[in-house]
Amino acid sequence: MKFPISTSFENNEPRLLLVTVDIQEGIPIVFDNYEKEDGTRKSRYGRYCGVEFNEQAEDDNSKNGEFEHVIRYDDGIKSDFVLARSSVPINYEYTRLKVEDHKSKGYNYDSKKRGTARSDRYDSPSYSNSNLRFFWDGGLLANTPLRQTVIAHRDYWFKVRKMEYNLPSLIIAIINLHPLKQEYIPYDYDGVVDRKNDIIYHDRTEFDEHMAILISDFQKLATSLIKLSKDNGVSEKSLQMILQERINTVNSITGQHLTYNDLLKARVDVDFVIRLERNNDSHTISNKIFDFYDITIRQLIYNGYKETQPQMNRILSDIALISQDK
């Protein structure tokens, strides 16, 4: 593998997403080797320092302001980003990355810590400087980053490719290296630590999958009801009065209230999720993710083939049934 890694949809190249954690912010950060809407590659997070907002410009973050922290990598994902994604606490040192700090002129950040602010509105963000910030393995918050993947997929097709409807659907494959179920109870110290690690880091995306499908189904229902209304003579003006009504849901970036019409845009359909799960054996150890002995790797490869075959047979059978239903 050669760094930096940069790919594009136009060249029919795969997309790479890596998730890490900013230790001070305590939130997952996604590195994406596809370009953003402004043609650059960057990861933005923290407080959004925006200026005047309007409905037409609400989704164009590059014109409205900037996030508090920005990591730029126009040449592509660097090896340091992979290290940040793999910096497991205790076992490895922090990974340090250069981050641009942006502060809002119209907001008192020190006052915010005390629960007060000079103003409820933000002025133009001012560039401060580049600082080193510290990162840990993204597995602490998103060991199976299904949610981040769905959001990144939506943002690319909605913001970069400018598609509001009929976004490509997703088929997700998840390989869970930390099994949720285990037939035996460990009693030795190392076995107990290993079981604790598996429970902490196992795949927890079933709820995310459920919510993604549920939201998609509600969008389909709303679209069908709108079509039914039009077919039965409801005027476009009457429909727009409802669709343009402000709702309680807010834009997660700007904090501005959305409309019902916003909820119908950029629907992401998750067709199905494939989950493969490795099994523990009686020889498993608590630090198995750091065991790189040649004999261990060969055994894991062999076990992987052996354990995957029956699981894939069941999955293919389920896919065939789903296809028949459609």
With a CB cutoff of 8 Å and minimum separation 6, the contacts of 110 are: none
Predicted confidence at residue 61, as pLDDT, reads 42
First to last CA, the chain: 40
Predicted confidence at residue 326, as pLDDT, reads 63
Predicted confidence at residue 52, as pLDDT, reads 38
Please check the confidence at residue 143 and state whether its pLDDT lies above 60: yes
If one compares 130 and 251, the residue with the highest pLDDT of the two is 251
Predicted confidence at residue 65, as pLDDT, reads 72
Please check the confidence at residue 318 and state whether its pLDDT lies above 90: no
Read off the pLDDT of residues 230-278 as tens digits, 9 standing for 90 and up. Answer: 999 999 999 999 999 999 998 877 778 999 999 999 999 998 899 999 8
Query: Where does the pLDDT of residue 87 fall: very low under 50, low under 70, confident under 90, or very high at 90 and above?
Result: very high
Give the lowest-confidence range in 63-77, 105-119, 137-151: 105-119
Q: Are 6 and 34 in contact (CB under 8 A)?
A: no
This prediction has a pTM of 0.82
Segment 180-206 mean pLDDT: 91
- Give the residue among 71, 69, 76, 20 at the shortest CA–CA distance from 48: 69
- Give the residue among 209, 204, 201, 206 at the shortest CA–CA distance from 280: 201
If one compares 289 and 320, the residue with the highest pLDDT of the two is 289
If you write DSSP's letter for every residue of 86-122 in order, what string do you get?
Answer: H--TTTSPPEEEEEEEEEETT--HHHHHTT--S-SS-
Cβ-defined contacts of 247-252 (< 8 Å, 24+):
251/58
Please check the confidence at residue 113 and state whether its pLDDT lies above 80: no
Please check the confidence at residue 106 and state whether its pLDDT lies above 70: no
